Chain A
Amino acid sequence: MQISKQKEGNVLVVKVAGRVDAATSKALETEMLPPIDNGEHKILVDCSNLEYISSAGLRIFLMAAKKLKMARGKIVLCSMLPPIKTMFEIAGFSAAFPIFNTMEEGEKELRKK
């Protein structure tokens, strides 16, 4: 798994690539959750190179969504491969995570008031 983060205006863009399973989910947790506690409340996740996710990874996204709900923030996921999208759907996360085909659409959603 590789993670990179970049600030664009008031949006934190997080690029998650490779495999997120029990072997790597701790690293995702360490990279994604503390910034939310430190005030990042608009998060755009680029999933274009996310190849695999198990419940260990889905759990980190759930934790992020819970934190953002409390903070009245928002997380948006973009450019998912079909199998990854299937995982979010079966987990029942589709309502909590708006999923967009492109980063542009996702960014537009985050910029909405």
Chain B
Amino acid sequence: MGVHHKKVPLKNKYTEIERLQKIVTNFCQHYNIPAEILFHLNVVLDEMVTNVISYAWCDNLTHHFNIYLEIKNGLITATIEDDGKPFNPLLTEKVDVTRQIEERPIGGLGIHLAKTMMDCLEYKYQKNKNILTIKKRVKK
């Protein structure tokens, strides 16, 4: 199957999300990733990138960050690296989907989707960078 890589540079603008998803779609379709896996990957990338754009920088300046995609041995790995303030999205409070609608908090949904749709999420802060890695196994 081989190893395939792609780097996607992004700016901190919400309109980048759709552009990213088009790039990810082209990349994954080229390597025959099933539509359902691609859909989950695109949703979770959106959620994680939206977090970065919303919270990583407090000024109104343009910032750049990168996503690294890898397909290897039936595993898709996406790594999001930004130089914004340290923030571990995995430490947010767990969403209880069984709660009544009036008691449901407005926040926390993005990370809930990510945890549900991905096989693995890892966070580390290294060399002044937030490094979030998401992994999804391609069904055989």
Mark A residues whose CB is within 8 Å of B.
19, 21-23, 54-56, 58-59, 62-63, 65-66, 69-70, 83, 86-87, 90-93, 95-96
Contacts and interface: CB of A to CB of B under 8 A. Distances in A.
In terms of DSSP, what is the predominant structure of the interface of chain B? Answer: helix
B98 A92 contact: yes
Nearest to A21: B17
In terms of DSSP, what is the predominant structure of the interface of chain A? Answer: helix
A59 B109 contact: yes
Contacts of B46: 21-22, 54
B110 A23 contact: no
Given A21-B17, A58-B109, A83-B39, A65 B101 contact: yes
Given A19-B18, A22-B17, A83-B39, A54 B102 contact: no
Contact of A22 (B14, B98, B101, B109): B14
Interface residues of B, number: 26
Given A23-B15, A23-B17, A90-B117, A54 B101 contact: no
Nearest to B106: A59
B18 A23 contact: yes
Nearest to B45: A54
Interface of B: 14-15, 17-18, 39, 43, 46-47, 50, 53-54, 95, 97-99, 101-102, 104, 106-107, 109-110, 112-113, 116-117
Given A19-B18, A22-B14, 10 more contacts: A21-B14, A21-B50, A23-B14, A23-B17, A55-B109, A56-B50, A58-B109, A59-B106, A90-B113, A90-B117
8 contacts: A54-B50, A55-B110, A59-B109, A62-B101, A90-B113, A90-B116, A91-B112, A92-B98
A66 B106 CA distance: 10
Most chain A CB within 10 A, of B47, B99, B101, is at B101
A90 B36 CA distance: 14
